[in-house]
Chains A and B, each alone.
Chain A
């Protein structure tokens, strides 16, 4: 029994390690090409660099951050501090349900609602709104656990000293600062790696300029990987490999940061 399980586990370990290493290693050498991070792609993505995709992904992430952090945080506060128990449980299960809805559904919804109904078109704005619709429940689901973990005595103590709801909540937020930071990083990481919603609502395969306003379409890292692998030949594949490797390295950095934050909290 023990040995069967051990062999299976080691097999899984080898496969996972292979996937991780082969993706990272196959892309890293291209990072050192001149202009890889600062040039525009040329000749059907077979030369040049990934500058517009990098900036596009960054812009998208900042918009998602700007939309989903305020709404998510305020919603979380309501969920854990203010709502009556029944409403809080109902909202929590709603957020859980939204978390299990496949990401393509958010894309299709974003297309029907933000792009067509509200007339934002294929744009940075539609993409970030569709991504935020997906990230907000994810953030709430994760952050609410940390707010709930703050001991009751702290809240009661502050209120008995004469603080109002707002002051008491600020107190709770300060106590769960690390947890909220963790949720925030995981949320942004997930939004960063999600492809399907952007593919449908805001991404274009090639554009000659960076998005100057919110209603311009955008090039991003994940959608460009998809476009290159599916549509272009072998001479362009190096760029997809390099972007894939970059994305995995960024995700590893995010998870390591989360680990460090958690460890700090324990001490």
Chain B
């Protein structure tokens, strides 16, 4: 009897903890959505207009259009660089690197992945920013600067994930291909195809992380709400507005609600991307297994 009670209490306690965790995600979505309802009702499609003047007294405007576009442009541009470079480094580490080289490079990447994003922001402002000014850019904080710092943030992640999935390719597959007379490039293609689920997973996670990163764009991107036209323009992505204004806004105002709408956009972007990642990875896995 005693033992049964102990067991029962134990099981119910643990399931309670799991329920709390599961409830948290739904609570997050629910709260962020309910707080943004007011803005959706009162501003409607105006939320997607290009102008964001939240504190004008006569006629404030709450359009996230420009910020959303800037966010997407910055994310796509940076992701493409990170994907290409990360993939190249991972292939080098997997195929050609000496043991010593591999160890040192992986160690450095691990340490860099531990640098807090606010510290990378400081690096972008104080060190890279100075270089940009000296080279003649008119603003120290700009699109290119933010993109470089974001690459430093995500490159370790991309490289190590890709490297790990390349290492999981079975030896026999490669040896079989070589025995059949496949050249270097063909062998690499086989390995890449086998590792595709892991690589695609890494690519989409990188995209997600850049889209949601706040501190770096807040500090380094420059903060001008204009559509980016050149690499040296200062920009303001969605998360930068959110991070800089949410601390100072009056709770319950229309501005507050509009900021929650931005948070809702960021959150749903990340959730959709996550669903997509799972879908694609599963499909690729099935395709490889035949």
Chain A residues within CB distance 8 Å of chain B: 1-2, 4-6, 8-9, 12-13, 15-17, 19-20, 22-23, 26, 70-71, 74-75, 77-79, 82-83, 91, 93-98, 100-109, 111-113, 116-117, 133, 136-137, 140, 164-166, 169, 189, 192-196, 199-200, 222-223, 225-226, 229-230, 237, 240-241, 244, 247-248, 251-252, 254-255
Q: Which 6 A-B pairs have the closest CB atoms?
A: A102-B212, A193-B116, A251-B114, A78-B14, A5-B92, A74-B17
A229 adjacent to B243 (CB under 8 Å):
no
A19 adjacent to B14 (CB under 8 Å):
no
B7 adjacent to A165 (CB under 8 Å):
yes
9 pairs, CB–CB < 8 Å, chain A vs chain B: A13-B104, A16-B112, A83-B15, A83-B18, A112-B260, A116-B251, A193-B114, A193-B117, A244-B123
Query: How near does chain A come to B123, taking the closest CB pair, in angstroms?
Result: 6
A108 adjacent to B260 (CB under 8 Å):
yes
B residues near A107, Cβ cutoff 8 Å: 243, 246
Partner of A102 from the list B111, B120, B211 (CB cut-off 8 Å) is B211
Residue of B nearest to A106 (CB): B28
Partner of A100 from the list B15, B125, B205 (CB cut-off 8 Å) is B205
Distance, CA A232 to CA B67, complexed state (A)? 26
Q: For chain B, residues 131 to 157, give those with C-beta under 8 angstroms from any C-beta of chain A.
A: 152, 155-156
Are A230 and B219 CB-contacts (below 8 A) given A16-B109, A251-B115?
Answer: yes
Query: How near does chain A come to B89, taking the closest CB pair, in angstroms?
Result: 5
A9 adjacent to B92 (CB under 8 Å):
yes
Residue of A nearest to B159 (CB): A12
B residues near A199, Cβ cutoff 8 Å: 243, 247
Are A105 and B266 CB-contacts (below 8 A) given A75-B21, A98-B25, A229-B126?
Answer: yes
Query: How near does chain B come to A204, taking the closest CB pair, in angstroms?
Result: 10
Distance, CA A198 to CA B32, complexed state (A)? 17
B114 adjacent to A241 (CB under 8 Å):
no
Query: What 1/0 flags go to B69-89 for Cβ under 8 Å of A?
Result: 000000000000000010011
Partner of B118 from the list A13, A82, A222 (CB cut-off 8 Å) is A222
Are A95 and B21 CB-contacts (below 8 A) given A75-B14, A100-B205, A199-B243?
Answer: yes
Q: Is B127 an interface residue (CB 8 A)?
A: yes
A16-B155, A102-B270, A165-B11 known, 10 other contacts, Cβ within 8 Å: A94-B21, A94-B25, A102-B211, A104-B212, A104-B239, A108-B32, A165-B7, A193-B115, A195-B117, A248-B115
B residues near A255, Cβ cutoff 8 Å: 110-111, 114
Q: Is B274 an interface residue (CB 8 A)?
A: yes
B270 adjacent to A101 (CB under 8 Å):
yes
Partner of A104 from the list B114, B120, B214 (CB cut-off 8 Å) is B214
Chain B residues with a Cβ closer than 8 Å to the other chain, count: 82
Main secondary structure of the interface of B (DSSP, over half): helix
A residues near B10, Cβ cutoff 8 Å: 165-166, 169
Partner of B247 from the list A16, A23, A109, A200 (CB cut-off 8 Å) is A200
Are A105 and B112 CB-contacts (below 8 A) given A71-B20, A166-B10, A226-B215?
Answer: no
Query: How near does chain A come to B23, taking the closest CB pair, in angstroms?
Result: 10
B266 adjacent to A17 (CB under 8 Å):
no
Q: Is B208 an interface residue (CB 8 A)?
A: yes
Q: Is B226 an interface residue (CB 8 A)?
A: no
Q: Is B280 an interface residue (CB 8 A)?
A: no
A74 adjacent to B114 (CB under 8 Å):
no
B263 adjacent to A240 (CB under 8 Å):
no
Q: Is B173 an interface residue (CB 8 A)?
A: no
Are A112 and B21 CB-contacts (below 8 A) given A22-B123, A102-B212, A103-B212?
Answer: no
A1 adjacent to B267 (CB under 8 Å):
no
Distance, CA A156 to CA B12, complexed state (A)? 22
A residues near B6, Cβ cutoff 8 Å: 164, 166
A residues near B246, Cβ cutoff 8 Å: 107-108, 111, 200
A residues near B111, Cβ cutoff 8 Å: 20, 251-252, 255
Residue of B nearest to A11 (CB): B85
Q: Is B178 an interface residue (CB 8 A)?
A: no
Are A254 and B114 CB-contacts (below 8 A) given A71-B17, A164-B6?
Answer: yes
Q: Is B182 an interface residue (CB 8 A)?
A: no
B residues near A254, Cβ cutoff 8 Å: 114
Partner of B214 from the list A5, A8, A196 (CB cut-off 8 Å) is A196
Partner of A105 from the list B96, B212, B219 (CB cut-off 8 Å) is B212
A240 adjacent to B122 (CB under 8 Å):
yes
Q: Is B271 an interface residue (CB 8 A)?
A: yes
Partner of B125 from the list A101, A106, A166, A229 (CB cut-off 8 Å) is A229
Distance, CA A136 to CA B127, complexed state (A)? 35
A9 adjacent to B7 (CB under 8 Å):
no
